Structure 1
Amino acid sequence: MFYSNIGIAEKYDYLEEKFRKGYQWLKETDILSLPEGSYPISGEDVIANVQEYTTLPADQCFYETHEKYFDIQYVVSGRELFGVRGREGLTVKERIEEKDLIFYEEPLFGGNVLLEEGDMIVVAPEDAHKPRLIAGEPGKVKKVVIKVAL
């Protein structure tokens, strides 16, 4: 699965070499044994960030986007709801340039995707996303966010 809008469907090649390196790393790496941290896959172009956390209520999370990277968000264990919507029309709440991170005020409408063990979603810079959401009850999640440079 990847989430996109028809206006940008042909803008990006989700199977170009950088993406394939990320997908291959996910398949071949024993992620369960890895501690939290950052793992370079291909220099600064493709980086895996291993995270562990407990999911949160929606009012404690925010929609976010990135200008320089795609995210491949892959759930290793646990499950979460993952908010998605286009960023167009959203109101910026905060910019953290050094982390390539833009947070937004909560919009009136957005959708959710359920991500369970083995599921992934690829989000482009145009895709606002709201990760770490409770799916039923709060739960532990181990996830890898692979950053793929534009």
Structure 2
Amino acid sequence: MYFANVSIAEKYNYLEEKFLAAYKWLRETDIAPLDDGTYPIIGEDVYASVQSYTTIDPSEGSYETHEKFFDIQYIVSGKEKFGICKRDGLKVKETIAERDLIFYDDPDMDGSVLLLQGDLIVVAPEDAHKPRLIAGEACAVKKVVVKVKI
């Protein structure tokens, strides 16, 4: 999936070396037995964060963005609804600079994507996203968030 405004359509190269290394790691690594934690792919520029959790009600989550990294969010097992909207115009709720996180109030209008086992979504700094949401009913999810430095 590629989601962008035409004004920034050519801003990023989603097939540059860092992205290709991330896709290859996701494709070739046996992730299921990995413990939650961080795994380097290309030093500090590209790394994987393995996470396990139970999906949450949308009222419990928040939209977020990152300034320094793209997210490649990949579902190892389970399923989740993944909220998505443009960052422009959102009201900042909280900034945690040391974690490269900005949280926002929910917008009046947003969309979502259903992520199933084996699916991934690439989220740019311009994309606000609300992960970990219940898709039908709460379920256990194992996910990898690959961080790709801008």
Partner Cα separation in structure 2 for residue 90 and residue 61 of structure 1: 15
The alpha-carbon deviation at position 67 of structure 1 amounts to 0.1
Q: Deviations over 1:52-81 (max 9, x none)?
A: 000000000000000000000000000000
Q: SS state of the match for residue 4, structure 2?
A: coil
Contact 1:64 1:104 in 2 (8 A): yes
The alpha-carbon deviation at position 5 of structure 1 amounts to 2.1
Equivalenced residues, count: 150
Q: Which residue of 1 aligns with 2:114?
A: 114
Q: Which residue of 2 aligns with 1:39?
A: 39
RMSD: 0.6
**One-letter code of the match for 1:55?**
T
Contact 1:71 1:122 in 2 (8 A): yes
Q: Which residue of 2 aligns with 1:53?
A: 53
The alpha-carbon deviation at position 3 of structure 1 amounts to 2.4
**One-letter code of the match for 1:23?**
Y
Contact 1:78 1:139 in 2 (8 A): yes
**One-letter code of the match for 1:139?**
C
**One-letter code of the match for 2:62?**
F
Partner Cα separation in structure 2 for residue 132 and residue 18 of structure 1: 25
State the TM-score, normalized to the length of structure 1: 0.99
Q: Which residue of 2 aligns with 1:125?
A: 125
Same amino acid, percent of matched pairs: 64
Contact 1:82 1:132 in 2 (8 A): yes
Q: Which residue of 2 aligns with 1:100?
A: 100
The alpha-carbon deviation at position 8 of structure 1 amounts to 1.4
Q: Which residue of 2 aligns with 1:23?
A: 23
Q: Which residue of 2 aligns with 1:63?
A: 63
Partner Cα separation in structure 1 for residue 139 and residue 3 of structure 2: 24
Q: Which residue of 2 aligns with 1:81?
A: 81
Q: Which residue of 2 aligns with 1:12?
A: 12
**One-letter code of the match for 2:34?**
L
Q: Deviations over 1:83-137 (max 9, x none)?
A: 0010000000000000000000111110000000000000100000000000000
Listed as ranges, the matches of 1:129-140 within 5 Å are 129-140=129-140
